[in-house]
């Protein structure tokens, strides 16, 4: 059979040397070369496998699992005690995620499962990205990787894709864990709408964590040492999570102090709220609440006195799923925008960096 | 069938495990040389790279033919690595052009990288993966089918002598083993061109011989073009067909050892003679006899008694006549001469002189 294949190639081979010698004609190769494509998938596949086998994956699974299960455990108790008195509430199942439970008979109140995830979630993003590019650099694998037949952006795209996949996996696992455990302990099966809300909340959480993944990736491109990049990433996380509110309050109080007429106070309050939404943390908390709790009818403070009056007159009712989504749509778009901005910056910087350290 | 269309057939045979290729290696090679193979796999014209004001590579004209090992010599920072990165399309040239396997690496990097094996300076591997797994990743990136890849990996590991340790994580490897693995890694894609940046710096002397033999075999059997950069002069001298001397981004000399020696050797040949020191007059008498021979410009007595005398001859073409004259003189004066031979031109001298000349020339230009 070998005799036939060359026959097909013969017409092209002799032509090659006579063709413009200075031109771009490739010197015939000894081996058939398929032009490779989708290099990012190969990179992503390798990175994904690396993540799954890494100790940090296991550690995070344990940390996040505990962070989600412990409040859930106490929340389930509270719900069980209260469930008999509740009538008509359609979101008992989601209380598993939102309820901030008391521990036994003590006054200690734990944050709800979703709040735990709001705090620990960024870790998940950072951990899988902070050393993505700079470790390749310091290990000397980057020149070798880039000399393979892939485009340069395949490397960063693949790494980001692998990070997203791992995040998706971990988050889905945790939500299923809570839900499964809740079903067993409470004996309540979630309704279709609750499932829908839960899935959507999973997407919002995924966006939130991906945002931190993109941030970590950016740091890994900008900062040459993995340890420095980790320090900066975790520092930012601590700062924003625990002092972010304080900082935005300070800024808000400076720019739009709550003084003057009622009308002015209302509008300044709304400005302050906008400023606080510069924090991804705030965005995520507001969005989570609105999705997980159908009773939340508005997440923005009205900007006028009239708005407050209207809000006061509103009959408290449960929001339908699509109404809740409308409420959090801007939040999601903002989180997506921050994520895209971080990734784009990382991408551009990576493409322009010299291969050599 | 074989005779008229050697090349396409060879292409099919390509390399199934390498074995058959090596056996039949001689025939296609001759056929290849017969059919006019005009285009060098590596060719640059006026290739220039500026980093700001710093000229890293200055109008480089370079050609490396198939079936040849070309050695790039130069100090640190002379522009060797920058040149290599431009050849791979990993850095864009500021000016000029490069053609690798006939293609512009800046515009068609994928095809170039598919066919060029590259061992970077200070090569690194994923430390938590085994050597074999690292190579598997490379094979996947090159879209090599799984089964074929396993064969290629086994063969490459065998060639660099790493088969026994292939399944250990690379963090347990020594620097030299990493370098061997790096060479295996570059061979996985069965390249037409091999570019090696400091391939033997950390490998022990015995290992170096193996690696250099391997490179020679690759050139001989697979008609690869190999470009290697090094600062280990005697290795470059022993393995390279042609040598290019790099200084401050410019190629200040290129050619075979003999061509370089003729150009930079100050037209001096060296003859080594082993002479038992005579009882009467000792060393001074030997020196007297040797210096009297016409054409001899310089006589160095041995530092240790086991070393030979080194006799400088100018012009270099006189070397044969001088050797005869030494023999004759030894007979007539009764010197106990045990051997006379031509000392191979030392790359070190050539290199030093070339760089000297270039820097002085450069200084003159500046003035």
- Could you tell me the domains of chain B? 1-38 (no CATH), 42-259 (3.40.50.300), 266-344 (3.30.70.100)
Q: Which residue of B has its CA nearest to A354?
A: B91
Contact of A252 with A272, CB cutoff 8 Å: yes
Cα–Cα distance between B248 and B271 in angstroms, integer?
Answer: 33
| Residue A18, pLDDT above cutoff 80 | no
Write down the pLDDT at residue A104.
65
Rg (alpha carbons) of chain A, rounded to whole number: 27
CA distances from B72 to A206, B198, B235, B250 (A): 51, 10, 12, 11
Q: Residue B33 above 70 pLDDT?
A: no
- The dihedral through the CA atoms of A179, A180, A181, A184 has a sign that is positive
Residues of chain B with pLDDT > 90, as a percent, come to: 30
What does the pLDDT read at residue B133?
95
**CB < 8 Å to A38, chain B:** none
CA of B88 vs chain A CAs: smallest distance (Å):
7
* B5 → closest Cβ in A10, A146, A355: A10
- Of the candidates A356, A97, A347, A26, the residue with the CA atom closest to the CA atom of residue B99: A26
Q: Is residue A171 part of a domain?
A: yes
8 Å CB contact of B138 and A26: no
With 80 as the cut, is the pLDDT of residue B280 above it? no
Q: How far is B172 from chain A (nearest CA, A)?
A: 14
What does residue B220 show for φ and ψ, rounded to 5 degrees?
A: -70, -50
**Which of A85-94, B149-158, B348-357 reaches the highest mean pLDDT?**
B149-158
Partner residue opposite B38 with nearest CB, options A17, A24, A144: A17
Are residues A276 and A283 in contact, defined by beta-carbon separation less than 8 angstroms?
no
Question: Chain A: which residues have CB within 8 Å of chain B?
Answer: 2-3, 5-6, 9-10, 13, 17, 21, 24-36, 39, 42-43, 45-46, 50, 139-141, 143-151, 354-356
Q: Chain A residue with minimal CA distance to B108? A: A24
Q: Is the pLDDT of residue A1 over 50?
A: no
> Would you say residue A213 lies in a domain?
yes
Residue A176: CB partners within 8 Å, gap ≥ 6? none
Which residue of B lies nearest to A352 if distances are taken between CA atoms?
Answer: B91
Any domain includes A335 = yes
The pLDDT of residue B12 is 35
Closest chain A residue to the Cα of B40, Cα to Cα: A27
In B, which residues are within 8 Å of A39 by CB distance? 141
Residues 6+ apart with CB under 8 A from A167: A124, A125, A128, A206, A209, A210, A213
Whether residue A100 is contained in a domain is answered as: yes
pLDDT at residue B121 above 80?
yes
For an interface test with B, the pick among A148, A154, A158 (most B C-beta atoms closer than 10 Å) comes out as: A148
Contacting residues of B for A31, CB less than 8 Å apart: 11, 14-15, 190
Are B39 and A46 an interchain contact pair (Cβ–Cβ within 8 Å)? Answer: no
**What mean pLDDT do residues B270-290 have?**
78
The model's pLDDT over A68-84, given as tens digits with 9 standing for 90+, comes to 778 777 877 777 777 66
Q: Do B141 and A143 touch (CB under 8 A)?
A: no
CB contact under 8 A, A146 and B101: no
> Alpha-carbon distance A194 to A124, whole Å?
25
Q: What integer pLDDT is reported at residue A148 of this predicted model?
A: 93
> What is the domain range of residue A221?
39-82+89-352
**Chain B nearest-CA residue for A49:** B129
- Residues of A in Cβ contact (< 8 Å) with B137: 42, 46
Helix pair A113-127, A152-186: axis angle to 10 deg: 160
C-alpha distance from A21 to closest chain B C-alpha (Å): 7
pLDDT level of residue A33 (50, 70, 90 thresholds)? low
Instruction: Measure CB to CB from residue B39 to each of A9, A27, A39 and give the nearest one.
Output: A27
CB contact under 8 A, A43 and B141: yes
Does residue A19 have a pLDDT over 60?
no
pLDDT at position A6 over 50: no
Q: State yes or no: pLDDT of A260 exceeds 50.
A: yes
Whether pLDDT at B38 is above 60: no
CA A51 to CA A135: how far, in whole Å? 14
Distance of alpha carbon A301 from alpha carbon B256, whole angstroms: 82
Question: How many Å lie between the alpha carbon of A132 and the closest alpha carbon of chain B?
Answer: 12
Cβ contacts (< 8 Å) between B189 and chain A: which residues? 148-149
Q: Does A36 contact B114 at a Cβ distance shorter than 8 Å? A: yes
Per-residue pLDDT for B92 more than 70?
Answer: yes
Q: Which residue has the higher pLDDT, B33 or B347?
A: B347
Q: Which residue of B has its CA nearest to A33?
A: B114
Please give the average per-residue pLDDT across B309-335, as a whole number. 84
pLDDT at A83: 66
Residue in B8, B101, B118 nearest the CB of A147: B118
The per-residue pLDDT for range B331-352, each reduced to its tens digit, is 888 778 888 888 877 787 788 8
Count of CA atoms in the C-beta half-sphere (13 A) of B337: 22
Whats the size of chain B, residue-wise?
Answer: 367
Contact in structure between B66 and B223 (CB atoms under 8 Å): yes
Residue A152 forms part of a structural domain: yes
Shortest Cα distance from B155 to chain A (angstroms)? 17
| Residue contact B11–A9, C-beta within 8 A | yes
Q: Give A259's pLDDT tier (boundaries 50, 70, 90).
A: confident
**Residue A188 confidence (pLDDT) above 60:** yes
Helices (H), A85-191: 92-98, 113-127, 134-139, 142-146, 152-186
| Per-residue pLDDT, B346 | 76
Candidates B221, B224, B179; CA nearest to B204 is: B179
A chain contacts of residue B107, beta-carbon cutoff 8 Å: 24
Q: Report ipTM for this prediction.
A: 0.81
pLDDT beyond 70 at A337: yes
- pLDDT classification of A182: cutoffs 50, 70, 90: confident
Asked if the model's pLDDT at residue A309 lies above 60, the reply is yes
Residue among A21, A45, A355 minimizing CB distance to B91: A355
Query: Strand order in B250-255's β-sheet?
Result: B116-119, B193-197, B225-230, B68-74, B242-247, B250-255
Per-residue pLDDT band at B210 (split at 50, 70, 90): confident
The proportion of chain A whose per-residue pLDDT surpasses 70, expressed as a percent, equals 86
Residues of chain A found within 8 Å of residue B41, distances taken between Cβ atoms: 27
Q: Is B330 a residue whose pLDDT tops 80?
A: yes
CB B328 within 8 A of CB B347: no
Give me the pLDDT at residue A87, please: 57
Across the interface, whether the CB atoms of A148 and B103 are under 8 A apart is answered no
Is A19 part of any domain?
A: no
Which residues from B are below 8 Å from A32, CB to CB? 11, 14
Q: Which of B10, B120, B142 sits opposite A30 (nearest CB)?
A: B10
pTM: 0.81
List CB contacts (< 8 A) between B222 and chain A.
30
Report the DSSP beta bridge partners of residue B341.
B272
Residue A350 clears pLDDT 90, i.e. is over it: yes
Q: Decide if A17 and B12 are in contact by the 8 Å CB cutoff.
A: no
- Parallel/antiparallel/unpaired status of strands B95-100 and B68-74: unpaired
Number of domains in chain A: 1
pLDDT for residue B17 is more than 60: no
Task: Identify the weakest region by mean pLDDT among A157-171, B112-126, B279-293.
Answer: B279-293
**Number of cross-chain residue pairs from A and B with Cβ atoms under 8 Å apart:** 136
Cβ-nearest to A140 among B9, B113, B122? B122
> Is residue A108 within 8 Å of residue A325, measured between CB atoms?
no
Query: Cβ distance B119 to B185 under 8 Å?
Result: yes
Between CA B344 and CA B249 the distance in angstroms is 28
Q: In the structure, what pLDDT confidence band is assigned to residue B170 with cuts at 50, 70 and 90?
A: very high
Measured CA to CA in angstroms, residue A269 lies from A264, B1, B357 at distances of 8, 88, 77
3-state secondary structure of B231: coil
Q: What's the CA gap between B12 and B34, in Å, rounded?
A: 20
CB contact under 8 A, A149 and B114: yes
Conformation bin of residue B95: beta by default, left when phi > 0, alpha when psi is -120 to 50: beta
- Does residue B31 surpass a pLDDT of 60? no
A281 to chain B, closest Cα gap in Å? 35
Number of helices (H), then strands (E), in chain A: 16, 0
**Where do we find the tokens 């060797």?**
B80
Q: Kindly list the strands in the beta sheet with B309-313, ordered across the sheet, starting from the edge strand earlier in the chain.
A: B296-300, B309-313, B269-276, B336-342
Of A13, A39, A147, which has the smallest distance from its Cβ to B8's Cβ? A13
Provide the 10 A C-beta neighbour count for residue B160: 23
Question: What is the per-residue pLDDT for A145?
Answer: 93
Q: Is residue A9 part of a domain?
A: no
Mean pLDDT of B134-144: 93
* pLDDT at residue A212, as a whole number: 95
Of A8-22, A40-54, A97-111, the least confident: A8-22
* Residue A74 in domain: yes
């Amino acid at each position: 059979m070998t005799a036939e294949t060359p026959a097909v190639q013969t017409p092209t081979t002799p032509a090659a040397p006579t063709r413009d010698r200075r031109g771009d004609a490739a010197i015939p190769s000894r081996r058939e070369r398929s032009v490779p494509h989708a290099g990012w998938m190969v990179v992503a596949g390798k990175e994904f496998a690396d993540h799954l086998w890494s100790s940090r994956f296991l550690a995070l699974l344990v940390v996040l699992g505990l962070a989600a299960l412990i409040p859930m455990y106490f929340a389930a108790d509270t719900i069980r005690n209260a469930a008999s008195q509740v009538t008509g509430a359609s979101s008992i199942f989601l209380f598993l995620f939102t309820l901030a439970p008391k521990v036994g008979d003590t006054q200690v109140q734990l944050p709800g499962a979703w709040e735990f995830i709001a705090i620990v979630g960024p870790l998940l993003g950072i951990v899988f990205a902070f050393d993505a590019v700079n470790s390749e650099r310091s290990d000397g694998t980057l020149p070798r990787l880039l000399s393979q037949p892939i485009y340069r952006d395949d490397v960063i795209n693949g790494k980001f894709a692998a990070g997203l996949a791992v995040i998706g996996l971990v988050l889905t696992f945790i939500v299923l864990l809570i839900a499964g455990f809740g079903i067993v302990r409470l004996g309540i099966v979630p309704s279709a709408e609750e499932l829908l809300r839960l899935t959507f909340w999973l997407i919002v959480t995924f966006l939130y964590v991906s945002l931190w993944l993109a941030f970590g990736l950016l740091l890994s491109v900008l900062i040459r040492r993995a340890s420095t990049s980790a320090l900066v990433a975790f520092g930012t996380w601590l700062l924003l999570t625990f002092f972010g509110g304080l900082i935005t309050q300070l800024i808000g109080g400076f720019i739009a102090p709550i003084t003057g007429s009622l009308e002015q106070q209302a509008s300044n309050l709304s400005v302050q709220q906008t400023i606080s939404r510069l924090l991804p943390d705030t965005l995520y908390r507001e969005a989570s609440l609105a999705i997980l709790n159908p009773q939340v009818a508005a997440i923005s403070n009205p900007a006028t006195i009239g708005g407050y009056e209207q809000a006061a007159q509103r009959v408290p009712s449960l929001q339908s799923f699509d109404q809740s989504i409308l409420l959090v749509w801007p939040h999601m778009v903002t989180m997506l925008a921050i994520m895209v901005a971080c990734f784009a910056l990382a991408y551009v910087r990576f493409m322009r960096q010299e291969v050599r350290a | 069938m074989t005779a008229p269309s050697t090349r396409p057939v060879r292409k099919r045979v390509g390399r199934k495990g390498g074995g058959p290729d090596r056996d039949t290696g001689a025939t296609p090679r001759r056929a290849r040389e017969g059919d006019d193979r005009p285009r060098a796999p590596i060719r640059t014209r006026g290739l220039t790279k500026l980093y700001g004001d710093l000229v890293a590579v200055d109008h480089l004209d370079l050609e490396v033919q198939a079936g040849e090992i070309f050695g790039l010599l130069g100090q640190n920072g002379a522009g060797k690595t920058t040149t290599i990165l431009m050849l791979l399309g990993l850095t864009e040239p500021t000016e000029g052009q490069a053609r690798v396997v006939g293609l512009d690496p800046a515009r068609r990097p994928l095809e170039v990288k598919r066919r060029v094996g590259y061992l970077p300076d200070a090569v690194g591997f994923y430390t938590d993966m085994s050597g074999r797994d690292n190579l598997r990743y490379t094979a996947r990136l090159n879209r090599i089918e799984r089964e074929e890849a396993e064969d290629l990996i086994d063969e490459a590991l065998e060639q660099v002598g790493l088969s026994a340790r292939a399944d250990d994580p690379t963090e347990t490897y020594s620097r030299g083993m990493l370098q061997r693995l790096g060479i295996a890694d570059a061979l996985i894609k069965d390249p037409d061109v091999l570019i090696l940046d400091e391939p033997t710096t950390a490998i022990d002397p015995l290992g170096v011989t193996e690696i250099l033999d391997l490179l020679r075999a690759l050139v001989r059997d697979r008609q690869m073009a190999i470009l290697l950069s090094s600062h280990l002069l005697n290795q470059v001298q022993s393995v390279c067909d042609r040598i290019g001397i790099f200084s401050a981004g410019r190629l200040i000399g290129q050619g075979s050892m003999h061509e370089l020696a003729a150009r930079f050797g100050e037209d001096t040949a060296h003859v080594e003679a082993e002479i038992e020191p005579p009882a009467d007059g000792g060393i001074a008498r030997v020196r007297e006899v040797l210096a009297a021979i016409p054409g001899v410009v310089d006589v160095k007595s041995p530092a240790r008694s086991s070393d030979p005398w080194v006799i400088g001859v100018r012009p270099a073409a006189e070397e044969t006549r001088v050797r005869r004259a030494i023999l004759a003189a030894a007979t007539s004066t009764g010197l106990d001469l045990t051997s006379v031979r031509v000392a191979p031109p030392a790359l070190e001298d050539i290199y030093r002189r070339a760089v000297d000349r270039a820097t002085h020339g450069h200084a003159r230009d500046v003035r």
